[in-house]
Amino acid sequence: MNTLNKNAKSTLISFIFLQLVLILPMVIHSTSATNDFTSFQKPDFGNTNLVAEAIENQTVITHNMEVKIREDHSLKVTSTFVVVNNDTLPMNYFYYEINRTISSVFVYDPLGSLDFTWQVSQAIGNAINITMRFPLLEDEIYVFSISYEIVDSLYHIGNPIAYHELDYEITHKRYSKIFNLEISLPIYSSLLDADQPAYFPTPKRIYEEDSTVYIVWNYEEKDIGDVDLFVVRFVEDGLLNRKPNLLALYIILAFLGGAGIAVLVGFLFYKKRMKPAETELVSSLLTDTEQEVIIAINQDSGVSTQRRICEKTGYSKSKVSQILAKLEEKEVLTRERWGRTNKVTISNPSFKTLGQAKEEKLDTTKK
């Protein structure tokens, strides 16, 4: 029975660990995207004793640290821990030290924010005691993150070439099986390209995404007390130091505006020149008698009767009927019964202007 319980417990622990590993990247991404370090708690400068526990009995399975260098040269740091309790006693707290000047602290797990105590002293700097959401029993695994903001962390070097330098030192307070560090430069910045090295030690990977350079280091087996120093040198050679060239923008806008006006004028000129040619083409598709019938209809604004067409053209009723039938076959007009006569309507827009040019010419001659 004991063996069965032990196997069930091991299976449950493995399942929980697998779930944490799967959700860890999503938790890091969603939290870093939404929480921009509003100070949720002020530090205590008093002498209250922190509730700490033996760090030797706590193993960090994975420590992922992200250090983002902002445009104002402050640092946004997020450390995500996957820890396991090696002790028979429950693990109620997680003690963490930050030996730097920080302006805010935020602690959270996949379910939300966590309670913590933050004290500042000259001896150790910032001491943070985090209360676990629930007591962590032996061999149980837990994942949570600590976020904070560091000020006055960069050096500006002016000679022989101007650049910025970050010296980032990390002291490992617990045994860590895996430690990953990612440092990102301010947007539109690049690593120093000069005689001096741009980084130390040699990173595992360097990549660029959305105009931001990322430097990544990966390590295994970090013991208690191990100290690592990471150096990054970079220059701000992008859009942050460029003043917008408004003159060039005005020139481009003026060119586009002029081109648009030229196209519009050309189109109107082309349309005006092509209009007589279109009229001649329409006229060539009709016989003289058909044109006279169309002109008679257009004189009545495109809608007339068969009786009025006979009166205007002087043609007989049978001749007008034959002409209208041919024009209807050519889909120039339509006929419908209207009392004792037929109502005739010009249906093709191309023929509605037929006769206007002649009338305008006659009006000009009379004047």
More confident: 23 or 149:
149
Model confidence at 217: pLDDT above 90: yes
- pLDDT number for residue 359: 53
Model confidence at 288: pLDDT above 50: yes
User: What average pLDDT does the segment 30-47 reach?
Assistant: 46
* Residue 77 near residue 148 (C-beta atoms within 8 A): yes
Show Cβ contacts of residue 196 under 8 Å, excluding neighbours closer than 6 positions. Answer: 233
- pLDDT number for residue 49: 53
- pLDDT number for residue 38: 36
More confident: 360 or 251:
251
pLDDT tens-digit readout, 106-119: 999 999 999 999 99
Sorting pLDDT into bands at 50, 70 and 90, what band is 282?
Answer: low
- pLDDT number for residue 3: 46
What's the rounded Cα separation, in Å, for the pair 200 and 215? Answer: 11
Average confidence score pLDDT of the chain: 79
Model confidence at 148: pLDDT above 60: yes
Same domain, 41 and 98: yes
Same domain, 113 and 141: yes
- pLDDT number for residue 273: 56
Using only C-alpha atoms, what is the Rg of the chain?
A: 43
Same domain, 59 and 83: yes
E strands within the chain? 58-69, 75-85, 91-98, 102-109, 112-113, 116-121, 125-136, 141-150, 154-157, 163-171, 175-184, 190-191, 199-200, 205-209, 212-222, 227-235, 303-305, 333-338, 341-346
Of 233, 267, 283, the position where a domain reaches its end is 283
* Residue 147 near residue 74 (C-beta atoms within 8 A): no
Residue 314, token pair as written in the block: 């002087």
pTM of the model as a whole = 0.56
Model confidence at 203: pLDDT above 90: yes
Whichever domain contains 123, its CATH number is: 2.60.40.1730
Total tally of structural domains belonging to the chain = 3
User: What average pLDDT does the segment 334-341 reach?
Assistant: 85
Same domain, 224 and 351: no
Same domain, 206 and 290: no
- pLDDT number for residue 35: 42
Same domain, 234 and 118: yes
Same domain, 224 and 269: no
pLDDT tens-digit readout, 251-281: 777 778 777 787 776 666 655 555 554 455 5
Nearest to 163 by CA among 62, 52, 237: 237
Whichever domain contains 326, its CATH number is: 1.10.10.10
Of 283, 305, 334, the position where a domain reaches its end is 283
Sorting pLDDT into bands at 50, 70 and 90, what band is 223?
Answer: very high
Same domain, 196 and 270: no
Sorting pLDDT into bands at 50, 70 and 90, what band is 26?
Answer: very low
- pLDDT number for residue 204: 96
Of 186, 219, 241, the position where a domain reaches its end is 241
Model confidence at 304: pLDDT above 70: yes
Same domain, 19 and 142: yes
Model confidence at 301: pLDDT above 90: no
The segment with the largest mean pLDDT, out of 75-84, 121-130, 150-159, is 75-84
Same domain, 53 and 136: yes
Same domain, 201 and 316: no
∠ CA 55-93-143, rounded to 5° = 90
More confident: 35 or 73:
73
Same domain, 305 and 261: no
**Lowest mean pLDDT: which of 57-61, 95-99, 119-123?**
119-123
Domain residue limits at 159:
2-241
